[in-house]
Amino acid sequence: MQWQRGFSLVEMLVAMVIGLILFAGLGQVFVTTKRTSITQEESALLQENSRYAAYLLAREVHHAGYLGCGAPANLEVYSSETFGDDFGLAIAGYEAANTAPGDTFTIGGSQSGSWSPALPATLGNEQILPGSDIVVIYRASGTGVKFSAQTSNGFVIQNPQERISQGCSETQDSFYGLCPGDIALVSDCSAARSFIIDSMTLNGSGDLELYHNEGWGGAGDPNINNQFNKDYSRLYTGYAVSYFIRNNQNNVPSLYRLISGPSAAAEEMIEGVENMQILYGIDSDGDGTVNRYVPASGSLDFSQVISLRMALLLRSVREIPNRNPPPSSPSWNLLATNIVTDSDSLLRKVLTITAQLRDQGN
């Protein structure tokens, strides 16, 4: 009878050492694969966010000043000239303190969160991060709606479409996306006036009667009873949108927008945008070309702006495991403004956009 022999102690130890080496190798492969996967995912997301930011902001700037026909430079435009209802302008902006070209701003530093000109109350309540500029774009939205008659304090739209039951409230339907309290515009290619919708009702014939406040067009309107020819005029939604940087619910700095309106709420557009700097191209002699690029200020005549340069500092949402961080206090050049960030394991990228406003003569 042959006895079965087991492993000796030496053989067991050798086998354990070999197993540990194999497991260590597999572990290293796993860690490297995971790091590579996270790096690739975050890099791809960074590239995608860059492309979308360029498309979104360039498109917004290009449509600034659209009022159905023509532009503020060629129309008699009357509005209240308050934030959210300043359609005599195509674009406006606010320069963050300590971020002019040549300045150095440290994200998370002790610099104050102030802007020039001073922020209106609407934006002052939006928890905007210090050190990032803000841009506001004004235009008409959509292709407009024809009206059948103009009354002393409003307009009549026959057979209204695009009706959403309780689209405004439990007792108020919306039409064409409009609700009481919204800003609307009427334009006939010769003049344009903005107004706040006081009420919207259907009359006995099923037509929509849309009423505005008595002083529509603002205090500077020389003729509040101005009649618009129904054959050459259209009624639009007034679109005033602000872009700025604030932290999202995950405490990640992101690009937000706020569309003015009675129930306006900031909307996150792109996660991982750490800073935004803007310069405005001024045509000071009216020849259609930019004379210089300057930051926003209380003295800047925004009616002369024909182009924008925007620089965004984008970052990954997740840190890259085992990635060697850059030197302490790395600096990023955004239109000659130095933005200093933490020395961490996040991926970062600078995106620079130059966008023309639409031809103010068309």
pLDDT (mean) for 89-94: 94
Question: Among 52-66, 103-117, 212-226, 280-294, which is the least confidently predicted range?
Answer: 212-226
Tell me which residue of 65, 55, 95 sits closest to 241, measured CA to CA.
65
Tell me the pTM. Answer: 0.85
* Chain segment 273-328, per-residue pLDDT in tens: 999 999 999 998 888 899 999 999 988 999 999 999 999 999 998 887 777 776 67
When pLDDT is cut at 50, 70 and 90, the band that residue 16 belongs to is confident
pLDDT (mean) for 254-281: 93
pLDDT at position 195: 85
pLDDT (mean) for 210-219: 69
d(CA 198, CA 46): 44
pLDDT at position 7: 62
- pLDDT > 90 in the chain, percent: 46
Q: Mean pLDDT score of the chain, rounded to an integer?
A: 85
Single-letter amino acid code for the residue at 146: K
CA distances from 309 to 212, 303, 316 (A): 37, 16, 23
Contact 243, 254 (CB under 8 A): no
* Chain segment 148-171, per-residue pLDDT in tens: 998 878 899 999 988 899 888 888
d(CA 277, CA 339): 10
Give φ, ψ of 316 to 5 degrees.
Answer: -70, 160
What's the distance, CA 262 to chain centroid? 18
Tell me: pLDDT of 30 over 60.
no
pLDDT at position 362: 45
CA distances from 3 to 10, 125, 218, 299 (A): 20, 86, 107, 101
Question: Among 69-83, 86-100, 142-156, which is the least confidently predicted range?
Answer: 69-83
Encoded tokens for 50:
């860059």
Tell me: pLDDT of 25 over 70.
no
